[in-house]
Amino acid sequence: MNIIVVGLSHKTAAVEVREKVAFSPTQMEKPLQAVVALPDITEAVIVSTCNRVEIYATTRDVAGGMARLKRFLADYHNVPLEMLESHLYSYHGEDATRHVFRVASSLDSMVVGEPQILGQIKTSYGYAAEYKSSGIILNRFLHKAFSVAKRVRTETKIASSAVSVAFAAVELAKKIFGELSDKTVLLIGAGEMCELAAKHFINTGVRGVMVTNRTFERAEKLAEEFSAKAVRFDDLFDHLPKADIILSSTGAPHFIIHEKDVEEVLRRRKMKPMFFIDIAVPRDIDPKVNNVENAYLYTVDDLNGVVATNLEQRKVEAAKAEAIVEQEIGQFFKWLSSLEVTPTIVALRNRFDELRKAELAKTLSNWKDLPPGAEKKLDALMNAYMNKLLHQPTSVLKRTDPGNRNDLYVDALRNLFDLGDAATPQEVMVDLED
CB of 266 to another protein, least distance (A): 8
Tell me if 86 sits within 8 A of 80, measured CB to CB: no
Tell me if 3 sits within 8 A of 60, measured CB to CB: no
Q: Indicate the Cα dihedral angle 351, 357, 360, 361, nearest 10°.
A: -130
Does 163 engage in binding with another protein (CB under 8 A)?
no
Task: Choose, by CB under 8 A, the member of 16, 217, 270, 361 that binds another protein.
Answer: 270
Residue 27 in marked binding region: no
**DSSP characters for 262-273?**
HHHHHHHTTT--
Does 155 engage in binding with another protein (CB under 8 A)?
yes
Q: Rounded to 5 degrees, what are φ and ψ at 62?
A: -60, -55
User: Distance of alpha carbon 16 from its chain centroid, rounded?
Assistant: 24
From the number of C-beta atoms within 10 Å of its C-beta (0-12, 13-18, 19+), residue 178 rates as exposed
Helix/strand/coil for 401? coil
Residue 366 in marked binding region: no
Q: Give, as ranges, the residues between 303 and 322 that touch another protein (CB under 8 A).
A: 305-306, 309
Does 368 engage in binding with another protein (CB under 8 A)?
no
Residue 189 in marked binding region: yes
Q: Indicate the Cα dihedral angle 89, 90, 94, 97, nearest 10°.
A: 70
372: how many CB neighbours lie within 10 A of its CB?
6
Residue 52 in marked binding region: yes
Angle at 389 between CA 384 and CA 392, to 5 degrees: 120
Residue 354 in marked binding region: no
Task: Choose, by CB under 8 A, the member of 132, 174, 357, 398 that binds another protein.
Answer: 174
Task: Choose, by CB under 8 A, the member of 76, 131, 296, 335 that binds another protein.
Answer: 296
Q: Which amino acid is at 429?
A: M
Task: Pick between residue 267 and residue 391 the one whose CB is nearest to another protein.
Answer: 267
Residue 193 in marked binding region: yes
Task: Choose, by CB under 8 A, the member of 273, 378, 386, 394 that binds another protein.
Answer: 273
CB of 165 to another protein, least distance (A): 14
Task: Choose, by CB under 8 A, the member of 9, 48, 106, 161 that binds another protein.
Answer: 161
Residue 115 in marked binding region: yes
Size, binding site for another protein by CB under 8 A:
28
The one catalytic residue in 14, 15, 50, 432 is 50
Task: Choose, by CB under 8 A, the member of 172, 223, 257, 265 that binds another protein.
Answer: 172
Distance CA 69, CA 268 (A): 69
Task: Pick between residue 91 and residue 298 the one whose CB is nearest to another protein.
Answer: 298
Does 91 engage in binding with another protein (CB under 8 A)?
no
CB of 307 to another protein, least distance (A): 11
Does 178 engage in binding with another protein (CB under 8 A)?
yes
Q: Rounded to 5 degrees, what are φ and ψ at 405?
A: -90, 65
Q: What share of the chain is helix, strand, coil (3-state, %, to 5)?
A: 55, 15, 30
79 assigned to active site: no
Interaction site with another protein (CB under 8 A): 154-157, 160-161, 172, 174-179, 267, 269-273, 290, 293-294, 296, 298, 302, 305-306, 309
